[in-house]
Structures are given as structure tokens and as C-alpha cells.
Amino acid sequence: MAVSCVVRVFASPRFGLRYLLPVACFMAAAVSASAAPVPIVTAEWAPPPGRAAGQAPDPNAQSQFRPFDAARMHRFERNPDGLWLRVLPQSGSWPEGPLVLTVHRVVFGTTSLQWDGASRPLRADILDPLATGLAGHSAPVFDLPPDLPKEAPLLLHFESHPTLAPSATITVEPLADYLRRDALWVALASACLAAMAAMALTAFVFTLLLGDRAYLFYALYLSCFIVLEVIATGYLFTVLRWHAWAPAIGAIGKLVTIASVVSACLFLMDFVRMRDTAPRIRRVIQTYVAVFGTTIGLGLLPIPALQELARVMVNPMLAFGALILPVAALIVAARGSRYGLYFLLGWLPLMAVTFMSSVQVSGAFAEATWLMDSLLVAGTFEALVLAIGLADRALAHRHQFHSAQQLSMTDPLTGLLNRRAFEAQFAALIAQAQADGLRLYVLFIDLDHFKSLNDCFGHRAGDQALSAVAGAMRRIAPGGSLQCRYGGEEFVLAMSVTRSADALTTAEMLRSAVVSLGIPVNQEGGVLTLSIGLARYHTGDSAAMTIEAADRAMYRAKSGGRNRVMEVEAPG
């Protein structure tokens, strides 16, 4: 019951769309909004070949620097000696008060800041616990000193990174504004990660409770996504301060990426039942999983050629996976599976944000500085939609199980209980009657001249007669009774009554109701009637003993001329 209630809550789209998404979107917008950054002028400079690595340029040499818009996401070319940026106050002098300079988007790698008169450069590297200051907002952050010269240009140095070229926006803002945005970012990231972690944990629990592999693959995929986001946003280092993981972060990222792709593919195949709905696409995805896992796995070996192959192949293969999965889901959805639609609804926004974020380094979507933060929101939205889809699937399975259970307990022709179900439920009816202080009676009912009806009018007419008698039983039997097709043309009715006369009255009403149906049984105008035996249950008797007593009474009714009710008390 508790599992069913939880499933129903998460299966309701209102739960996510009304409560979780508006909160997450509001927080994302609040994080992206900047209060009032200090207007600045920025320019970049790459050291020419032969210049000593780390040697700062002349900040006053205007010809060396190329200006760029610091409010737009700007991509800097990779340079073996790093890159230099010059930051100047647009008004000509820095304002009063504590100021903070933030380099948004550069998560990994070392950035340093210096100016004329500085005793030593300030370093920011979120992988280095000794070099990280106010780096909560997943970016290098510099707390500018109060004695900063009013007109001093600031020089930022991006040290060379082996694989990543920096792509960033630069802001200078009052410390209070930064702390507000930083707190909002930490709250947003923590809320999204906590929501996804809760859904992943719930999925693991449901894997154990329901034995459904789709929940396991969903939980694995979601767990991998959480780990990747914790690494990619710098949350692991700037918020959790788990710097001990820094040396292994590259290998961890690759392994989790492989696990993420594999689990996403396995989840889709199992979630939409691709074995039945799209077997050919399923084989394509299985081949993709094998090739991707092998290629990236070989890149973990200490062999330069294999490492280079994996580095070159990873992005194209990720792009192919991002394309083939929604195509497969769309094919399945077109074939009538609503689970394909669930997958598309959750997957496409995340893929859209991921694509926009990845091409941003090439200059596209430069104004969308909120893209990195929106990845967490899109991931949470995807997790929520897929959780709703899984809950819907669990409810469908529950409905199918209930339907199958009902079919196994009922007679397919009349819809009444079958003999096995009647005998299984009879004990509960006895206990309820005894608890309520009522008397329990069993009616054994046989259709008179039923063989003649079948011989004269066919078995279809016989089936219609059985259904008509069953309908009369449902109309006349008191609430809480058990109505059963016991076999062939025999029916059994068990009911609790206050007085013995009530049982006899019910039996007579049923007999009269069937006579009034006027169902012919022969060519001479005879109509269908019932012979009914009535027996009372006594404490200590078994169900079989009471039914046998009612059966004997029914045969007395037949031998007495049919179309009548005979009562006999059960022995004992």
C-alpha cells in the first residue's frame, strides 16, 4: 500500500510541474541575474613564440591586446604558454568598497591575477585547496585587496591546460553581490543534486521492491549524471572541498562517462520494451554501447596511441549517442508506446542545453551565460520526467497484475467467482459473519432441463442462459455475499443474514426471477427454472461440508419436481 501511494504521487505530472520546476527555474534565473557589476573594459593577449613562459605583458601596450566583450561568453585560443587578459575600469578608476573578480566558466586549470605594485600574483585553482579562496560559484574568484590602486589595470593569466581551452566571462562586482549570487548558486546546485540523489535512491529501493531492471538502469544513469555534474561544476571541490579526489579526477570522469552512456542506453531499451517494439534499433544501440565502451575503455590504458584514439573519438561518439537515443525513442513512440514520449520529454531539453553549452566554446550562444547553471536544472527535469514515466509504468504493471489476478479468480463467461476463488474466500466470509453475529447460509443452485436447452437451441443459447442466471444472482444477492459458478450449470451463493427466513426469501426471489426471464428450454414452451438447496453453516464445519449439505438439499428439490427451494441443515 505504501509503495502504491508513493508511486501515485510521483506519477502525477502536477507534482513536478507545479512544485519542483517553478522553484528550480526561479533559482536558476536568480543565479543568472547579476545585481550591478562594475563596468569594465577587457582585452586578451597571447604570448608570441620564444617569450618566456609566465612573463607578463606590458599592461599599457595597447597594440598587444585585442578587446572583447566581457559580458559575452568568449572563447580563447589554446596557447602552450597560456593567455593574458587585461581588465580596466570603464570609468577610469575602481569604485570604493570590497570588490570581487570572477572568471565564469573556467572550472579546471589555474588562473592568476596581478597588478602593478602587487607583492605576488593571486592564484585560483579549484583543484588546489591552498589556492582556492572565494571559489564557491564553480569558478576562479579573486577577492581584490582594499589597497588596489584606483586606476590599476588587472592582468589575468590562464595557465595552459592539456585539453581544455578557456571560455569565460569576466565580472567585477561588490563583494556583497557576489556572496548573494554565490549563495543562490550553492542553493540551486545543492537542491538539484539532492533532488536527483533522492530519486536515484528511490529507484534503487524500487528495484528491490519491484524487481524491475528499468529502475536499476535509471538509478545508475542518474547517479552517473550526478557525479559528472559534481565534477564539471566544481561542486566537488568548491562546496564539498573533497580535494583528495583531484589527482584521479580525469580517470573518474572517463569511467563515469562510460557508465553514464551505457546505463542510459540500457535504461531506454528496457524502459520502452525495445525488444518487442523496435528490435532492429535495439541491435543498433547494443552495437553502439559495445563500440563506445571498448573505445573509451582502451583509452584508459597507458598506451599513447589508444589514448589519442579515445580522445579523438569521444565527442563524435557522444554526439551519435545523443542523436540515436531520441531517434529510437521517437520510433517507439510512433509505434504507440507512451514511454517513448516520456523519454523524449525528459531527454531533449537536457540534450539541447548540453549541445548549446558545448558549441558555446566556438562562439555560439555567447549571450546565454546561464547555460552551465541550466544543465543542473535540465538534468533535474529529466530525472523527474523519467521518474514519472517509471511510476506510470509501475502502475500499469500493477493494473495488469490486478487484471490477471481477477481473471484467475473469475469465471470468464458469467463474471462470477470460480470454484477455487470461492473456496479461498469462504473462510473470510465465515469469520466476518461470526464477528458480526450473523448466520451464514449456502445456496446450491442447479438449472433445470439445461441439457434440453442446449440440445434444442445450441450451446450459444446455453451460454446466454448461464449469463442471465448470473445477472439475476448479482441483482438479488445481498451485499458482501459470494457468488460462484461452481461448475457446468451449477451455481453457489454464500451469504450472511440476520434471520434464517431471510436466506429462504432470497432463494425464493432468485428462483422467481429466473422463471420470469422466460428462457425456453424445449420446443413445447417449457421455460428455465432453478432447483435450489439451502444449508446453514455451523461452527466447526468446513466449507465442503456445508456445500455438500446444500447439494443434497438441491437433489431433494429436483426429486420433488424441480423449480423449488429445499432446506436442510448441515450435519454436525
Enzyme catalytic residues: 489
Rg value, the chain, Cα: 38
Which bin fits 19, alpha (ψ -120 to 50), beta or left (φ > 0)? alpha
Contact (Cβ atoms closer than 8 angstroms) between residue 102 and residue 141? yes
Give the Cα separation of 112 and 158 in Å (integer). 7
Give the Cα separation of 46 and 68 in Å (integer). 14
Give the Cα separation of 173 and 139 in Å (integer). 14
Backbone angles phi, psi at 376, to 5 degrees: -65, -40
Give the Cα separation of 221 and 204 in Å (integer). 11
Give the Cα separation of 286 and 370 in Å (integer). 35
Give the Cα separation of 109 and 111 in Å (integer). 7
C-alpha distances in angstroms, 13 versus 26, 196, 351, 478? 19, 17, 21, 41
Cell numbers linked to 517: 426471464
Tracing cell 526561479 back to the chain, one arrives at: 26
Contact (Cβ atoms closer than 8 angstroms) between residue 8 and residue 15? no
Contact (Cβ atoms closer than 8 angstroms) between residue 151 and residue 92? yes
Checking DSSP bridges between strand 40-45 and strand 141-143, what pairing results, if any? unpaired
Give the Cα separation of 550 and 320 in Å (integer). 72
Contact (Cβ atoms closer than 8 angstroms) between residue 545 and residue 571? yes
Contact (Cβ atoms closer than 8 angstroms) between residue 462 and residue 450? yes
Query: CA angle, 396 as apex, 211 and 219 as ends, to 5°?
Result: 40
Alpha helix locations (H) across 369-440? 371-409, 419-436
Give the Cα separation of 133 and 150 in Å (integer). 23
Give the Cα separation of 519 and 525 in Å (integer). 9
| Listed residue (190, 188, 169, 263) closest to 225, CA to CA | 263
Give the Cα separation of 507 and 504 in Å (integer). 5
Backbone angles phi, psi at 470, to 5 degrees: -60, -40
